[in-house]
A and B are shown apart, each in its own frame.
Chain A
Amino acid sequence: MRVAVPVFPGSNCDHDALHACGTVMGWDTIPVWHQETALPANTDLVFVPGGFSYGDYLRCGAIAALSPIMGDIKRHAENGGLVFGVCNGFQILCEAHLLPGALLRNDTLRFIHKWVHLRVERNSLPFTSSLKAGQVICVPMAHAEGNYTLDEGGLADLEARNGVAFRYCDAAGAVGEDHTPNGAANAIAGITNLRGNVLGMMPHPERAVEAAMGGLDGLPIFQSLAAAFTKA
């Protein structure tokens, strides 16, 4: 399995992604500078990492979405290839129109970094097949702009097509405003596109894949991806 990790000026979770995919999972994992115009041949998964690409100038992810490498990432997605965006990666995928919606400043006005509970809303995805629907996982979040928003019609469409993959919740799996740290609409922490091959989420499963990291709840997402490629 070959993974490409695009690196933008200001990416700072690229090494987390490289470690999780390369060291922990043992996949052939290649960092790709944003000025490149093509992904490595036979790329199976593109992991768009977190960080502060272009210093978050204009809007988070807006300038990275126009980087030369994004053309090939879009082609990869259009061909059914898997694209996984975490944190700033999620923001970039929204700005690149690979996913609907946008991420606003947290309603608390603060950068929030803590471990959060997420309820798995959909496990029929190559990213979530090793999880159970309704299962609660605990992974770190670390962002100031994770307040997911979409117009009312778009949000209804997203829900109707079962496009929400993860929602913020409490330890027991209860969803509500009190358990949504950033004000995200419908407690949305992660979504997928119509085809189910592009997933974006604000929390960081790649930071919960070894006991030394304080938790292993991110691992099933990577195991799901491994299973998807064994099947393919």
Chain B
Amino acid sequence: MKVRVLVSLKSGILDPQGKAVEQGLHGFDFQVDHVRIGRLIEMDLPAASAEDAKAQAQAMCDKLLVNPVMEKAVIEVLG
């Protein structure tokens, strides 16, 4: 089953990468604000159901993929 995990910085956590990209976009005269950059993790895993896939991905987030001090994650089961 294909699962997508979107990891992003919690609100209030400084995102220097987002800030740098925002400055770059301003350089092209784009009117943007609050640019935040996250990390997209896609994977295939053996799962009997979408719930099972989600539970496995959640366990991976807890163990390694996410640092709860600064990050949060959204798990999407693509099927």
Which A residues fall within an 8 A CB radius of B?
Answer: 58-59, 62-63, 66, 94-95, 100-102, 104-109, 147, 149-151, 154, 183
Contact = CB atoms under 8 A, between A and B. Distances in A.
Contacts of B19: 109
Given A105-B17, A183-B14, A59 B67 contact: yes
A63 to B, nearest CB: 8
Contacts of B79: none
Interface residue tally on B, bucketed by range: 10 to 19
Given A104-B14, A109-B17, 7 more contacts: A62-B67, A101-B69, A102-B69, A102-B70, A105-B17, A107-B16, A109-B16
A151 B14 CA distance: 12
Contacts of B69: 94, 100-102, 149-151, 154
A149 to B, nearest CB: 6
A58 B16 contact: no
Contact of A62 (B14, B16, B64): B64
Interface of B: 13-14, 16-17, 19-20, 64-65, 67, 69-70
A45 B19 CA distance: 40
A149 B16 CA distance: 14
B15 to A, nearest CB: 8
Contact of A58 (B17, B20, B64): B64
Nearest to A95: B67
Say whether chain A's binding surface is mostly helix, strand, loop, or mixed. loop
25 contacts: A58-B64, A62-B64, A66-B64, A95-B67, A101-B69, A102-B69, A102-B70, A104-B13, A104-B14, A104-B16, A104-B70, A105-B16, A105-B17, A106-B16, A107-B14, A107-B16, A108-B16, A109-B17, A109-B20, A149-B13, A149-B69, A149-B70, A150-B69, A154-B69, A183-B14
A58 B19 CA distance: 20
Contacts of B20: 109
A109 to B, nearest CB: 4
A93 to B, nearest CB: 13
A109 B17 CA distance: 7
B25 to A, nearest CB: 15
A106 B20 CA distance: 12
Nearest to B19: A109
A105 B18 CA distance: 11
Most A CB contacts (10 A, CB to CB) among B17, B19, B67, B70 go to B67
